[in-house]
């Protein structure tokens, strides 16, 4: 009976893994094949494997530039989001002041607006401030769009930190600023890791704001770079797949680095 | 060591609502172990937090060694506090928890090491210094919380129900440890609890609070023996003092009470002469009722109907009803009392230990 149950579980897991990992493996195989080979047989194994496509994409198809641009914009946005989001969440969760809940509600209510509604006004604002077509402008927009969700996730976690800990730190002689850095933030690390991963993945793959707010080749991010290989009449599928593989590496690195904390953050409160 | 003086301390959270602490005044001497005792919501923790500097003061003053500290931040009051939840920093080891306060005060690193090792030795934490709080038992966490207070060598220690999360056995031993610590350090300690056993066994003096106000202050036994009002009388003691409505008669020089249909004559040491017909409250502690009359004849026999019998081995708690009185009376009888529910028995009441309270619930004492 136990063997049957185990086999059944294994079967379900295998099916799910194939379903989830299938497209990734397919894209990985295509990244090592030329577009001509792919058109001939969509699902064939790469034979021979065209490893030279990676340096070719990096140097000749500007993926190197897109990658660095993406890295600059997303890392800066995630760092700013994490710092401001954590401080705001700590403040909203910890301090009682007038309009606390009103501010929280206004912040949170912005989540419901679809990006299409704000994008025209954002475009206008960025043009007026001279930030259109710049990485700084895109970074600020990314911070703005992700901040409410970041605060929402972190606030609920910060609110669960017992108030006695802050009182104990005050008695130990620490200021509010020091308490945030030395007590609240380290305790909230699992939740912070969750938001880091979430924001990194969402922003790394972000396309809509980038395509509207960036037009310069030198400022394009990876999703825009990949889109460049999709033409009106034809598309370079092989190069798109190679670009996808290059794009996915940082996401895997970030996930591998923070995943343990992410799981802690997701299960926090589930057990004592 | 320090003298802590609280003068008319008041805390109002919401205008229009009753104050959480209302004109609390208290003088706590050098090296005294003062226990703030009372039911939940009586204002004892609020008072403690105002002393600590964790709560703003609506009116009144807190002074430490004669210096008013109302505007002094918590960190500069030289006070350490042990919290009900222990409040150990979960991301730090035991050693870091102990050293955290000292590091902020720029104590020399070698001195921190020495003090932490010393406190860990006193509290039996030396083997646990590398562990995180989640890897400690409840008792060990409690000791770390104590250690964190001791290591700073503060003027005043504050305890906010530090034993309430421990199991019964550990509570008894930790109670002893805190008392021993007080004797060893000779420090001024203020201890908040709702557990009267802790208050009675640990406090040099106890301050009983009710509804944000001080109900009575004094040495534990003194307060137990001579409660100032019906609240203190019924709060201290388990089972509590029985309080029954009574009417003064003109017999025995105004010292005779009718409790239901029982006539109880009180000695002059317990009660001033009362106006005949005056409505008062008669109080008697369970241990001042017995199955047999005292050899000196000082006890008064009362007829009682047995309502419930709770044999505890060493003693028996009997709950009975006096004729003409709706309220039940508690009696703590020595040994195993042979009584059956529903039977009528004679109990002997020690009138020399009885209490009388006026219509406002305040104790009446002979002039």
pLDDT, tens only, A14-46: 999 999 999 989 999 999 998 888 888 888 888
Predicted confidence (pLDDT) at residue A270 exceeds the cutoff of 70: no
pLDDT at res. B297: 62
Q: Are B23 and B124 in the same domain?
A: yes
Burial classification of residue A16, based on how many CB atoms lie within 10 Å of its CB (0-12 exposed, 13-18 middle, 19 or more buried): exposed
Specify whether the CB–CB gap between B80 and B157 falls below 8 A.
yes
**What pTM does this model have?**
0.81
B221, B259: one domain: no
- The reply to whether A31 falls in a domain is no
| Token pair recorded at residue B185 | 């350090």
CATH code assigned at A130: 1.10.3720.10
- Nearest CB to A173: which of B54, B85, B101? B101
Q: Do residues B142 and B175 both lie within one domain?
A: yes
* Contact state of B91 with A174 under an 8 Å Cβ cutoff: no
Q: Is B56 on the interface with A (CB under 8 A)?
A: no
Q: Does B362 reside within a domain? A: no
> First-to-last CA distance in chain A?
33
Note the pLDDT tens digit of each residue in B50-77: 999 999 999 999 999 999 999 999 989 9
A89/A91 Cα distance (integer angstroms): 5
Residue A267 reports pLDDT greater than 60: no
- Clarify whether residues B101 and B247 are in a common domain: no
> Looking at residue B353, which CATH number applies to its domain?
2.40.50.140
pLDDT tens per residue across span B129-148: 999 999 998 889 989 999 99
Structure tokens at B217: 């202050």
Domain endpoint, select from B176, B205, B235: B235
Maximum distance among all alpha carbons in chain A? Answer: 73
What per-residue confidence (pLDDT) applies to A16? Answer: 95
Among B202, B235, B268, identify where a domain stops.
Answer: B235
Strands B33-37 and B205-210, by their bridges, are: parallel
Q: Among A14-18, A200-204, A253-257, B350-354, where is mean pLDDT lowest?
A: A253-257
Claim to verify: residue B203 and residue B249 sit in the same structural domain: no
User: Residue B134 sits in a domain of what CATH number?
Assistant: 3.40.50.300
3-class SS of residue B240: coil
* A104 in any annotated domain: yes
ipTM of the modeled complex: 0.83
Q: B191, B216, B235: which is the final residue of a domain?
A: B235
Residue among A170, A178, A187 whose CB faces B54 most closely: A170
Residue A265 has a pLDDT of: 55
* Contact status of B75 with chain A (Cβ, < 8 Å): yes
Domain-located, residue B120: yes
- A261 pLDDT band (50/70/90 cuts)? low
pLDDT higher at B299 or A160: A160
pLDDT at B298: 66
Same domain (yes/no): B152, B246: no
Any idea what the Cα angle at residue A249 is, between residues A137 and A136, rounded to 5°?
Answer: 10
Which residues in chain B land under pLDDT 70? 1, 295-298
State how far the alpha carbon of A111 is from the alpha carbons of A148, A151, A169, in Å: 7, 11, 34
Q: Do A189 and A268 contact (CB within 8 A), yes or no? A: no
Confidence check: pLDDT of A122 > 50: yes
Query: B256-259 and B289-290 as β-strands: parallel, antiparallel, unpaired?
Result: unpaired
If one counts the domains in chain B, the total is 2
Q: Is there a domain that residue B364 lies in?
A: no
The answer as to whether A12 is a domain residue is: no
Q: Helices A100-109 and A135-158, interaxial angle, to 10°?
A: 130
- Tokens matching residue B32: 């005294």
Percent of chain A with pLDDT over 70: 94
What is the DSSP annotation of A230-241?
Answer: B-SS-B-HHHHH
Do B295 and B147 have their domain in common?
A: no
Secondary structure E strands in chain B: 4-11, 21-28, 33-37, 59-64, 67-68, 79-82, 156-160, 188-193, 205-210, 213-218, 242-249, 256-259, 262-265, 279-284, 289-290, 299-311, 315-321, 328-334, 344-350, 355-357
| pLDDT band, residue A269 (cuts 50/70/90) | very low
User: How high is the mean pLDDT of chain A?
Assistant: 88
The crossing angle, in degrees rounded to 10, of helices B138-150 and B94-104 is 20
Which member of B75, B85, B91 has the closest CB to residue A171? B75
Predicted confidence band at A272 (pLDDT cuts at 50, 70, 90)?
A: very low
- The domain total for chain A is 1
Q: Is residue B363, in this structure, part of any structural domain at all? A: no
Contact call for B89 and A174, based on CB within 8 A: no
Based on the domain organization, do B20 and B160 belong to the same domain? Answer: yes
* Main-chain phi, psi angles of A11, to 5 degrees: -65, -45
Q: Do the Cβ atoms of A258 and A197 come closer than 8 Å? A: yes
pLDDT higher than threshold 80 for residue A264: no
In what order do the strands lie in the sheet containing B4-11?
B21-28, B4-11, B59-64, B67-68
Domain enclosing residue B334, as ranges: 242-357
Q: Return the number of CB contacts < 8 Å for A and B.
A: 55
Nearest CB among B75, B87, B152 relative to A165 is that of: B87
Band of residue A217 on the pLDDT scale cut at 50, 70, 90 = confident
Could you tell me which residue, A243 or A78, shows the higher pLDDT? Answer: A78
Q: Do residue B201 and residue B341 come from a single domain?
A: no
Q: Is A240 exposed, middle or buried (0-12, 13-18, 19+ CB in 10 A)?
A: buried
Kindly report, residue by residue over B271-289, the tens digit of the pLDDT. 888 888 889 999 999 999 9
CB B116: neighbour CB atoms within 10 A?
Answer: 23
Distances (CA, A) of B15 to A104, B19, B21, B41, B58: 25, 9, 13, 17, 11
Cis? peptide before A181, omega within 30° of 0: no
B81 and A171 within 8 Å at the Cβ level: the answer is: yes
């Amino acid at each position: 009976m136990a063997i049957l149950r185990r086999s059944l579980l294994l079967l379900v897991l295998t099916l799910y893994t194939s379903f989830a990992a299938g497209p990734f493996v397919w894209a990985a195989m295509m990244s090592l094949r030329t577009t001509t080979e792919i058109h001939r047989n969509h699902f064939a194994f790469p034979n021979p494997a065209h490893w030279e496509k990676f340096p070719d994409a990096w140097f000749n198809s500007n993926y190197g530039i897109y990658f660095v641009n993406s890295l600059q914009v997303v890392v800066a946005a995630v760092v700013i989001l994490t710092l401001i989001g954590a401080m705001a969440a700590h403040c909203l969760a910890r301090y009682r002041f007038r309009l606390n809940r009103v501010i929280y509600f206004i912040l949170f209510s912005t989540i419901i607006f679809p990006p299409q509604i704000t994008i025209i006004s954002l475009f206008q604002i960025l043009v007026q401030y001279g930030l259109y077509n710049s990485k700084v402008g895109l970074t600020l927009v990314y911070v703005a769009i992700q901040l409410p969700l970041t605060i929402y996730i972190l606030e609920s976690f910060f609110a669960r930190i017992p108030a006695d800990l802050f009182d104990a730190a005050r008695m130990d002689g620490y200021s509010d600023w020091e308490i945030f850095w030395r007590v609240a933030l380290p305790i909230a690390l699992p939740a912070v890791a969750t938001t880091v991963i979430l924001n990194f993945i969402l922003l790394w793959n972000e396309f809509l704001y980038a395509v509207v707010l960036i037009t310069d080749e030198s400022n394009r991010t990876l999703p825009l770079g990949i889109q460049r290989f999709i033409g009106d009449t034809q598309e370079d599928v092989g190069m798109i797949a190679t670009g996808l593989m290059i794009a996915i590496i940082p996401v895997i690195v970030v996930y591998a680095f923070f995943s343990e904390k992410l799981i802690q953050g997701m299960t926090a409160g589930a057990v004592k | 060591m320090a003298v802590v003086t609280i003068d008319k301390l008041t805390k109002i959270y919401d205008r229009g609502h009753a104050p959480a602490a209302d004109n609390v005044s208290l003088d706590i001497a050098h090296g005294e172990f003062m226990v703030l005792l009372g039911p939940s919501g009586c204002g004892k923790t609020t008072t403690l937090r105002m002393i600590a500097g964790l709560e703003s003061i609506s009116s009144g003053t807190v002074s430490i060694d004669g210096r008013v500290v109302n505007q002094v931040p918590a960190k500069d009051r030289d006070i350490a506090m042990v919290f009900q939840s222990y409040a150990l920093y979960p991301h730090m080891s035991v050693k870091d928890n102990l050293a955290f306060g000292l590091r902020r005060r720029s104590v020399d690193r070698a001195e921190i090491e020495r003090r932490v090792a010393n406190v860990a030795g006193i509290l039996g934490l030396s083997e646990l210094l590398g562990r995180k709080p989640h890897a400690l038992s409840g008792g060990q966490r409690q000791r770390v919380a104590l250690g964190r207070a001791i290591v700073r060598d503060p003027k005043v220690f504050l305890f906010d129900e530090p034993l309430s999360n421990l199991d019964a056995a550990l509570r008894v031993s930790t109670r002893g440890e805190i008392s021993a610590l007080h004797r060893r350090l000779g420090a001024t300690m203020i201890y908040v609890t709702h557990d009267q056993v802790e208050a009675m066994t640990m406090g040099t003096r106890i301050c009983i609070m009710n509804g944000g106000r001080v109900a009575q202050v004094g040495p534990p036994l003194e307060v137990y023996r001579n409660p100032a009002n019906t609240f203190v009388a019924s709060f201290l003691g388990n089972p509590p003092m029985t309080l029954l409505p009574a009417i003064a008669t003109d017999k025995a020089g105004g010292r005779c009470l009718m409790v239901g249909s029982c006539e109880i004559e009180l000695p002059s040491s317990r009660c001033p002469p009362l106006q005949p017909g005056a409505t008062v409250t008669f109080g008697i502690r369970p241990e001042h009722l017995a199955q047999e009359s005292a050899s000196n004849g000082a006890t008064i026999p009362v007829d009682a109907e047995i309502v419930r019998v709770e044999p505890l081995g060493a003693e028996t708690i009997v709950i009975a009803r006096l004729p003409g009185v709706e309220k039940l009376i508690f009696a703590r009888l020595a040994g195993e009392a042979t009584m059956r529910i529903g039977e009528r028995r004679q109990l002997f009441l020690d009138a020399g230990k009885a209490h009388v309270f006026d219509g406002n619930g305040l104790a009446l004492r002979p002039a």
